[in-house]
Amino acid sequence: MLPENKINEFVSRLRQAAGANLRSVLLYGSGAAGTYDPKLSDINLFCLLVDASWPALQPLAPVSEWWSKQKPRAPLFMSCEELERSTDVFSIELLDIQSAHRVLFGDDPFTTLSIPMTLHRAQVEYELREKLILLRHYLLLAAGKEKRIWDLLLRSVPAFSTLFRHALIAAGKPGRPARRESIEKLAQHLGVDASGFIDVLEVREGKKSAKDFRVNDVASRYLALVAQVTAEVDRMLDSSDPLGR
């Protein structure tokens, strides 16, 4: 369950420290989507400020220090102007916050926020390629260490499933399916093997034990799917007419 008391205390401390400079605090991610796992999930908080300059941020330092000691993910701080001007480069993140969030304080800036999709597909490819390279890197560092490989696979599933869902959006199949459903839908759409991801999800959800699998086999199929999806998104970009004809 979500640590509601801890979250509420953060909001209370932030309101006191920021005063009129604080416009909104939102919970997003797994906590808002109903998939929060206390062992694996982060607490994702979005804090919207009128002014995010250094002088305006300094009074918030004690709150940030207190929150960091609770060991959750650092909250996102953004100014109102930045939010409006970031929709073209943060389309993945902002679309996800817009589709699943909970207002903890203030008004809801996402009800009227318009997010253009013109650069969405390019961001999906960029994120996939970056994370594919990092996945290879960390798999190499974990080679021969079964527990470390499993930890890497289990912790990377949420990020990749988000990108797979956005690959579906880029392919003209919008919606917010659950992790397993988005992976299965994308695999079916591309005609590729999603079993590596499904196996990792089974272990993450406690439905199977890691001992039921050979970790190098799972990692091989997992990595192959990421590479195939990345290549397909690249092909979608190459086949698109930049002039929209």
pLDDT score for 239 = 67
pLDDT score for 71 = 78
User: Residue 155: CB partners within 8 Å, gap ≥ 6?
Assistant: 40
* pTM given for the model: 0.81
pLDDT confidence bin for 243, thresholds 50/70/90: very low
Give yes or no for a contact between 236 and 121, defined as CB atoms under 8 angstroms apart: yes
Give yes or no for a contact between 179 and 201, defined as CB atoms under 8 angstroms apart: yes
Taking residues 75-90, report their average pLDDT. 95
Residue 242 has pLDDT above 50, yes or no: no
pLDDT tens for each residue of 173-231: 877 777 888 899 888 888 999 999 999 999 998 999 999 999 999 999 999 999 999 99
Highest mean pLDDT among 15-24, 38-47, 113-122, 157-166: 15-24
pLDDT score for 241 = 42
Give yes or no for a contact between 124 and 166, defined as CB atoms under 8 angstroms apart: yes
CA gap 142, 97 in Å, rounded: 32
Q: Largest Cα–Cα distance of the chain, in whole Å?
A: 55
User: Residue 168: CB partners within 8 Å, gap ≥ 6?
Assistant: 174, 175, 177, 182, 185, 186, 189
CA gap 111, 130 in Å, rounded: 31
Question: Residue 23: phi, psi to the nearest 5?
Answer: -95, -45
> Following DSSP, what letter does each residue of 154-220 receive, concatenated?
HHHHHHHHHHHHHHHHHTT--S---HHHHHHHHHHHHT---HHHHHHHHHHTTSS-GGGS-HHHHHH
- Amino acid identity of residue 216, one-letter, is N
